[in-house]
Amino acid sequence: MTRMRAVDAVVLILEKEGATQTFGLPGAAINPLYSAMKAHGGIRHTLARHVEGASHMADGYTRAAAGNIGICLGTSGPAGTDMITGLYAAAADSQPILCITGQAPVAVLDKEDFQAVDIASIAKPVTKMAKTVLEAGQVPGVFQSAFQLMRSARPGPVLIDLPIDVQQTEIDFDIDTYEPLVPVRPAATSAQAEKVLDLIAAASHPLIIAGGGIFNADAADKLVEFAEATSIPVSPTLMGWGTIPDNHPLQAGMVGIQTHVRYGNATFLESDLVIGIGNRWANRHTGDLGVYRNGRKFVHIDIEPTQIGRVFSPDYGVVSDAGAALDALLSAARGRTEAASLPDFTGWAGECTARKSTEHRKTNYTEVPIKPQRVYQEMNSAFDEDVTYVSTIGLSQIAGAQMLHVYKPRHWINAGQAGPLGWTGPAALGVAKAKPEETVVALSGDYDFQFMIEELAVGAQHKIPYLHVVVNNSYLGLIRQSQRGFDMDYQVSLAFDNINSSGEAASYGVDHVAVAQGLGCKALRVEDPELIGEGLRVAKELMDEHQVPVVVEVILERVTNISMGAALDSINEFDVLAQTPADAPTALTPMGELAAAK
């Protein structure tokens, strides 16, 4: 046993648990932990400009780095309350991040001491565990339990609050005999897998809904293998986008009332059995449940027992880790294939693949100001299959999910259920830290970009390059579109005449190029649709040369309505191609190229 401060034990535990990337801000109540990190030397740290930004960086890092956990650090009081939005975003999407806060000394808790707040009680609803550690001897056990909890069952965040005196108290600790606790993950049985195969065997048009739980289980390859073994088409959810490549013949297109493709919804409405794996049946996926459920049976496989039946009761539910479930399903499917007792779904799969050559929306607009659909067409052309996209909320994210393409796991990073404005930029920094050799492209509307815009300076200071596409219509576009039902356009315009700017963009208000440059980044503006591709090419060159974030601001028309609706069979369309061109490319060609062919 070695005598050391509790915070020195914490740093050794972080290293042994494999969590060595931190984001945060030092402060009086957390300085002992920072001193331990400095002495240790093996814990990497990125200095944020805002603690909420640091929490989103940790979140983005976790989502991009398979099996690793991002850490957010902050001092007492407001640092912890600033983390709450980050904890909520992580909890909502089953992401394990660890937030560590400093705290006032134990003796003055409950005495309204400076920056002493009961952060554990505040954080409890949005964490798997939130605890103020009052005894230094409990510190190792609390961290050991925290890592097990974060990785067990439905993953999620934890907050550990450390009073400054607890941090500095010496304890006896032996890191050589410390062992991470084994995560607890339920696994489907062979009997359960056979029951699912029975339902599949009785179906004519089965469809797999692939959720984000497949990423948490690192099981995307197993999903594709099961789909190929059974010839069952796969529709990824927004959180599961990339579990099967967009250009795979069995990728049937995303389903939903906002983030979706038309052929995805059309295929779903033709299905008679839906097998959900690692998904939540989120309301923006299902829309009206009467339409969604009508005429089809449902299997729901999820690691969290309370998710089964939470939105609606499936015909059969299985509590299981997605990877374990796919292992069992693969084994059962192979047995039935050998016995020739599984139906041949290749005809149905072929129908779904053929549908991908139709049901497209127009993207090849040439108007000035630019229509947003053209931006996504150009992005499809500018970036290859290795690109990682980061986005969170608004018309930009919805249109991006309708028109962009994702080909690999963890290459679409999105705050799905919470959707906090401002998440995109700091999350992209976390993603870029996790993927230093890959191209990371963030996508924001102007309002999302203005939230937490100060975090661009983090990328400049720490040389974290990524490309940020800002589609600027100077509007709260999604809110404006939703206000149509109230026959109003109220308090949603961001436009004003900027006395410091010139040209068309001056009437759009904030000069994002000037702000980005002032924060130490590179930036450029595009106002001609024919120059978007060139702008993206130049931006990539600037990013590679200077190793800082590069902002590409695209000036859009002020008002564009993006296709969405209340039910899968009643989407309001605004930009549908009149017909599929006779010389249309194959079904596996990106949609932007299909529109360009017209």
Burial degree of 167 (CB within 10 A; 0-12, 13-18, 19+): buried
Q: Are 234 and 351 in contact (CB under 8 A)?
A: no
For residue 346, the SS3 value is helix
Q: Beta strands of 311-462 (E only): which ranges?
A: 316-319, 388-391, 412-414, 440-445
Helix (H) or strand (E) holding 593: helix 591-597
Helix ranges (H only) for 315-394 are: 322-338, 346-355, 372-382
Inter-axis angle of helices 190-201 and 322-338, nearest 10:
60
Is 372-562 in CATH node 3.90.480.20?
no
User: Do the domains at 190-355 and 372-562 have one common CATH topology?
Assistant: yes
In sequence order, what DSSP letters do the residues of 536-576 get, joined into one string?
HHHHHHHHHHH-S-EEEEEEBPS--PPPEESSTT-EE-SSB
Q: What's the token pair of residue 120?
A: 């554990």
Domain ranges of the chain: 2-177, 190-355, 372-562
Amino acid of residue 289: L
Helix, strand and coil percent figures for the chain, each rounded to 5: 40, 15, 40
243 phi/psi in degrees, rounded to 5:
-65, -30
Answer whether 448's CB lies under 8 Å from 512's CB: no
pLDDT, tens digit only, all 598 positions of the chain: 899 999 999 999 999 999 999 999 999 999 999 999 999 999 999 999 999 999 999 999 999 988 899 999 999 999 999 999 999 999 999 999 999 999 999 988 888 787 789 999 999 999 999 999 999 999 999 999 999 999 999 999 999 999 999 999 999 999 999 999 999 999 999 999 999 999 999 999 999 999 999 999 999 999 999 999 999 999 999 999 999 999 999 999 999 999 999 999 999 999 999 999 999 999 999 999 999 999 999 999 999 999 999 999 999 999 999 999 999 999 999 988 776 788 999 999 999 999 988 878 889 999 999 999 999 999 999 999 999 999 988 888 999 999 999 999 999 999 988 878 899 999 999 999 999 999 999 999 999 999 999 999 999 999 999 999 999 988 776 777 777 778 877 777 778 788 888 777 788 888 999 999 999 999 999 999 999 999 999 999 999 999 999 999 999 988 888 888 999 999 988 766 544 433 333 333 332 332 332 2
What is the pLDDT at residue 575? Answer: 66
CATH of domain 2-177: 3.40.50.970
- Rounded Cα gap, residues 563 and 576, in angstroms: 9
The predicted structure's pLDDT at residue 577: 55
DSSP symbols for 243-286: SS-TTSTTB----SSSS--HHHHHHHHH-SEEEEES----HHHH
Distance of CA 255 to the CA centre of its chain: 17
Torsion angles phi and psi, residue 312, rounded to 5 = -155, 160
For residues 167 and 29, give the distance between their C-alpha atoms in angstroms, rounded to a whole number.
9
Residue 170 φ/ψ region, left for φ over 0, alpha for ψ in the -120 to 50 degree band, beta for the rest: beta
Using CA atoms, how far apart are residues 217 and 201, in angstroms rounded to an integer?
Answer: 26
Coil, strand, or helix at residue 496? Answer: coil
pLDDT for 358: 82
Its pTM stands at 0.92
Which pLDDT tens digit goes with each residue over 269-290?
999 999 999 999 999 999 999 9
- List, in order, residues 6 or more apart from 243 with CB less than 8 Å away: 210, 214, 215, 220, 223, 224, 234, 236, 409
Distance, in Å, from the CA atom of 252 to the CA atom of 236, rounded to the nearest integer, reads: 8
CATH top-level class for 190-355? alpha beta
SS3 label, residue 437: coil
What does the block give as tokens for 308? 């089964």
Nearest to 579 by CA among 357, 423, 392: 357
Q: How many residues belong to the chain?
A: 598
User: What pLDDT is stored for residue 215 in this prediction?
Assistant: 96
Q: Which of 19, 284, 308 is nearest to 154 (CA)?
A: 308
